[in-house]
């Protein structure tokens, strides 16, 4: 029986050492006094009951990313609730049907509020979790800090960022700190829950001194765990659950690194001690969530063009019911569009009956990657050979790429579809649809 212990989730300012030692501490916005926010953890089928109290200087709202949630609890101001004003509160109360690694973050002025630190982990535990020595949640982020003061640079509406890759930081953090180290034993098996909380950075993750498998993506178990060979991308909002064995006996070579296009860097170090525990062999898949089975080959195919950006300006698109030129849109701070609509008010194309199957083909016509996210549903990737791939809630569509997804709209309500490069969403790459 689901029971709830109601408690507060206070959105408040705090000061935290995010930059390396020797730099000043950084004023941040938090859920509960530090970044990442309060660790919310519950058993599968359990209930989250939290009173958001807004002690910030702006209205805010909380979105529970990846949860197949009741629409009224989805946290989208103007669509599912009103933004929570300063000194006001809102009661979030919902059941989490699926086990997995999720997260929560602000969904009001998110380009700014998430960049200031308003996010935290939401972990829904399996009833029979894998046998590991440690279960670590690692939230990756990047920050744009002034090098002298270590204050967050206040340029969230910067047109260059909005019209290019998005807001990229100059300092990468893990769990709100620089270059953390975790003690582990040689021979130990770890579960790593990786969550990309950054505004726009795509991490290209690689293991050092660890051998492992990806066992879940965006919270959803893979039917067959995938060995980590070289590197794998983690786009904004995406999660990957890894099971890794510590194979190294030396701290120098044990860790998690990003080998991004802009030069590699370490993210996490593991301080390896001799203390060896039982060696485990092989890997079992995580228990599957209760996801719908569906046939998708008869489903209508919706083509969705991702358009805009500085390199190829919008030829012209609609904002509401006005036709505007690319220049006019840019003057209004809209640089991106979906099928010719910047900030499409509502996409009738995707309006849907409960239980309907859809295929969406994202065609990236821009010079930048996008991470397309759907609220309230997970979808399956349609692989190039036509088979159904993993369940996800956010799909990376690289420049020039076309990616297809299939889903059943089995959750009634009004749901957003947007790019999770938060500056892109704020400047046009956003739409919504109704399931009735």
* Interaction site with Cu ion (CB under 5 A): 65, 370, 375, 419, 421, 424
- CB of 417 vs Cu ion, minimal distance in Å: 10
Encoded one letter per residue, x for contact with ligand C2O by CB under 6 A and - for no contact, window 378-417 reads: --------------------------------------x-
User: Given the DSSP bridges, would you call strands 7-16 and 47-54 parallel, antiparallel or unpaired?
Assistant: parallel
Q: Which is nearer to Cu ion, 269 or 373 (CB)?
A: 373
- Residue nearer to ligand C2O on the CB measure, 58 or 247: 58
Instruction: Return the residue of 62, 123, 237, 396 that touches ligand C2O, per CB under 6 A.
Output: 237
CA gap 407, 356 in Å, rounded: 8
Would you count residue 269 as binding ligand C2O (CB under 6 A)? no
CB atoms within 10 A of CB 72: 12
Please tell me whether residue 118 binds ligand C2O under the rule CB under 6 A: no
Task: Closer to Cu ion by CB, 106 or 175: give it.
Answer: 106
Residue found by looking up tokens 């997970």 in the block: 378
**CB under 5 to 8 A by kind: which of ligand C2O, Cu ion, none does 237 bind?**
ligand C2O
Query: Considering the complex, what minimum distance in angstroms separates the CB of residue 375 from Cu ion?
Result: 5
Q: From residue 337 to residue 376, what is the string marking binding to ligand C2O with x (rule CB under 6 A)?
A: ------------------------------------x-x-
CB of 68 or CB of 191, closer to Cu ion: 68
Q: Is 198 exposed, middle or buried (0-12, 13-18, 19+ CB in 10 A)?
A: buried
Number of residues that bind ligand C2O (CB under 6 A): 10
Instruction: Point out which residues bind ligand C2O (CB under 6 A).
Output: 63, 65, 105, 107, 237, 373, 375, 416, 418, 420
């Amino acid at each position: 029986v689901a029971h709830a212990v109601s408690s507060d989730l206070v959105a408040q300012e705090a000061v935290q050492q995010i930059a390396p030692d020797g730099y000043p501490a950084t004023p941040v916005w938090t859920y509960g006094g530090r970044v990442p926010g309060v660790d919310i953890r519950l058993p599968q089928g359990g209930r989250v009951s939290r009173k958001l109290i807004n002690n910030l200087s702006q209205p805010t709202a909380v979105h529970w990313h990846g949860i197949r949630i009741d629409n009224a609890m989805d946290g989208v101001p103007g669509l599912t609730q009103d933004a929570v004003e300063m000194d006001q509160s809102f009661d979030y109360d919902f059941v989490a049907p699926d086990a997995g690694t999720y997260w929560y973050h602000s969904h009001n002025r998110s380009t700014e509020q998430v960049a200031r630190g308003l996010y935290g982990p939401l972990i829904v535990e399996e009833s029979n979790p894998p046998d590991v020595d440690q279960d670590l949640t690692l939230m990756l982020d990047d920050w744009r800090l002034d090098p002298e003061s270590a204050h967050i640079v206040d340029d969230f509406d910067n047109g260059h960022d909005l019209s290019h890759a998005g807001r990229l930081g100059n300092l990468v953090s893990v769990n709100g700190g620089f270059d953390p180290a975790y003690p582990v034993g040689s021979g130990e098996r770890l579960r790593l829950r990786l969550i990309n909380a950054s505004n726009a950075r795509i991490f290209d993750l690689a293991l050092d001194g660890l051998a492992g498998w990806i066992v879940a993506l965006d919270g959803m178990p893979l039917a067959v765990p995938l060995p980590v060979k070289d590197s794998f991308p983690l786009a904004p909002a995406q999660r990957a659950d890894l099971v890794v064995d510590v194979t190294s006996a030396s701290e120098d070579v044990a860790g998690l690194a990003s080998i991004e296009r802009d030069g590699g860097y370490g993210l996490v170090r593991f301080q390896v001690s001799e203390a060896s525990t039982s060696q485990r062999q092989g890997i079992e898949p995580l228990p599957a969530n209760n996801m719908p089975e569906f046939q998708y080959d008869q489903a209508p195919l919706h083509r969705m063009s991702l358009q805009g950006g500085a390199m190829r300006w919008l030829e012209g698109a609609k904002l509401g019911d006005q036709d505007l030129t690319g220049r006019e849109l840019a003057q209004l701070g809209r640089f991106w569009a979906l099928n010719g609509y910047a900030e499409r008010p509502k996409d009738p194309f995707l309006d849907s009956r409960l239980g309907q199957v859809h295929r969406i083909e994202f065609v990236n016509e821009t010079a930048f990657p996008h991470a397309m996210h759907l609220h309230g549903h997970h979808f399956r990737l349609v692989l190039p050979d036509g088979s159904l791939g993993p369940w996800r809630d956010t799909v990376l569509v690289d420049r020039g790429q076309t990616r297809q997804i299939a889903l059943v709209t089995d959750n009634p309500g009004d749901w957003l579809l947007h790019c999770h490069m938060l500056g892109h969403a704020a400047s046009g790459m956003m739409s919504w649809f109704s399931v009735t």
